[in-house]
Amino acid sequence: MAAILRAKEAGSGLEDIRVMITADDPFERRKVLQEQRTALPQVITAAQAQLELIQCALDCGHDDFATCPHFRQLVEDRVGVRAPRHIPVHET
């Protein structure tokens, strides 16, 4: 049970944990770890980008961080498109 909890805390998915625990072949267990190691740099990069975006929003001095030019630029740079400056309101 401790191995399952530790693997889950480390970010392993339940299917990978199942294979590592139940596989009779040690090479199969090693394969799961190698696949996780291969994928981990992309996961780390995504988590760092998420942290940067969250930190920018939390550090923003604007009443609404979504209207902050710095925050909007950070989002635009990440997705490569311009975010709308405003949402048009139709008056009746």
**DSSP secondary structure string for all residues of 55-75:** HHHHH--SSSGGG-HHHHHHH
- Asked if 36 and 16 count as a contact pair (C-beta separation under 8 A), the reply is yes
Query: Quick check: pTM over 0.75?
Result: no
Compute the average pLDDT of residues 34-62: 89
pLDDT digits (tens, 9 = 90+) for 57-87: 888 888 888 888 888 887 787 776 554 554 4
- Asked if 92 and 86 count as a contact pair (C-beta separation under 8 A), the reply is no
Q: In the structure encoding, which two tokens stand for residue 37, read together?
A: 């190691």
Complete DSSP assignment for 3-71: HHHHHHHTT--HHHHHHHHH-S-HHHHHHHHHHHHHHHHHHHHHHHHHHHHHHHHHH--SSSGGG-HHH
- Domain ranges (residues) in the chain: 2-59
